[in-house]
Structure 1
Amino acid sequence: MSYSVGQVSAFAGVTVRTLHHYDKAGLLSPSGRSHAGYRLYSDADLVRLQQILFYRELGFALDDIAAILKDPQANALEQLRARQRQLSEEIARLRQLAEVAERAIEVQKAGVSLTPQERFEVFGGISFDLSYATDAELKWAHSEGQREAMARAAAHSKEDWRQLMGEAAAWRAELLAAFDEGEPSDGERAMDLAEEHRLHISRWFTSCPPAMHRRIADDFAADPRAFALVVPPARQRPGLAAYTRKAVHANAARHVASVGRTDSEEDR
């Protein structure tokens, strides 16, 4: 029995244009033509279409489907296993994103509502990249510190935000001055600024031991979106993110040395 392209489109749930595309791509060419030159599909063609739609539903590209159908015994099992792994990873990622969205909803419900004017007044040129926020949520999804920081940020009042952003602006001005004046990144001035930043995080968001501060600074140097949270791109200088990272690492090493000296003094 033969079926017209319109009939196949109707009961397969695909558009006529899609069937024409499959034909031009050599993926599904109808077995026959009517006297008027219209495409006619056989039962075997419909079986092949079912296979194509099955693999399309799983997210396979048309070229991959063509390779599988060309030699199903050699390609199908391997390709399906690979796709299963990809889908499992995607499911896990989507579950994490759902958790991020749920936490974001809670933050919005409990958070501070700012008008555009108030937001500019409080945050100035500091930008919050949603893509970075999402990546950070996924990266630190199982971190108690991340959860605490989100909860405390949501609980801040407008006056809290004004105060903490004022502190951040003053710190930023000192950092830029130290950098512009050629202060060494492992010098006392730069390390003191790093320590001030670490205490700022602990005071307003979550406890930030030196090891955590190093990880945060590593993000500053590796991802421009992260560093934009502390220094707006318009005020950055080449090498400033790396300078800040070195200062943080030097300060963390100073902490370790200080603890070691304390322990030695107690031993004596």
Structure 2
Amino acid sequence: MTDPELDGGRTVSVAAELLGVTVRTLHHWDEIGLASPSVRTTAGYRRYTDMDLQRLHRIVAYREIGLGLDAIRGVLDDATTEIGATLREQRSQLAERIHDLQQLDERLERMAEAHERGILLSDEEQSATFGPGWDPRGSEQARVVWGDSPQWAQFAERSASRTRKQWRSLSEAMSTLQRDLGDALDQGVAPGSPEANVLVERHRKLFSNFFPLTRQMQVCLGRMYESDPGFAAHYDGVRAGLASWFRQIVDEAARAHGIDPDTATWQ
């Protein structure tokens, strides 16, 4: 067969346009023996016949539903292949992919909300979890101040997967630490002492549940606890003078690690 006009032969470019695929794709299918043009013109050009196009249309159809090229070859070339069973298996795999995508969509939604809201609990849940003195607007205010920082992004990423039970456990651990700090102040624990340094390290590790807290960053937090009216009132509400004492024990612990508290920065 050499006359393409008699057998309905199509050039590769025409066939590609009819099928909605690229010429490169047809060349690839030809190279791997999946679908090759059946005739050659007197000038040596290869053409696709109507039968070739029918096979190509089936390949495109099966590829669009997600079958791989090897699976398509099996469907088209193996007379014993149960096409229905193959398609049902493909549908089962698709259902798994849809389930995975739905879960991914839910995680992305929670991540986006966490970046916007901070804590993914309702106002009522926050009050029940953190106590009646908790202000649910606190995380929104924190976002206004630190929303562009890497630490806010880290806080949000962890918040997105944190459950109410985990928040409660973290809140209880923070409350226990603050009580222990107050008791240490009452007992006259001196800044720089081993007992004080243990408390400083407990605070750093516990706070790192929100974002990684370096010793220099902890020094900056200690300054803020003492100078910020809201934080100072909270800590001094646990024990009178606790905000200043906490800053002192953090500073001394930093010095023990070669950090000058007077020049420490948020890094």
- Name the larger-Rg structure: 2
- The structure with higher relative contact order (CA 8 Å, sep 6+) is 1
Instruction: Report the TM range for the smaller structure's normalisation.
Output: 0.3 to 0.5
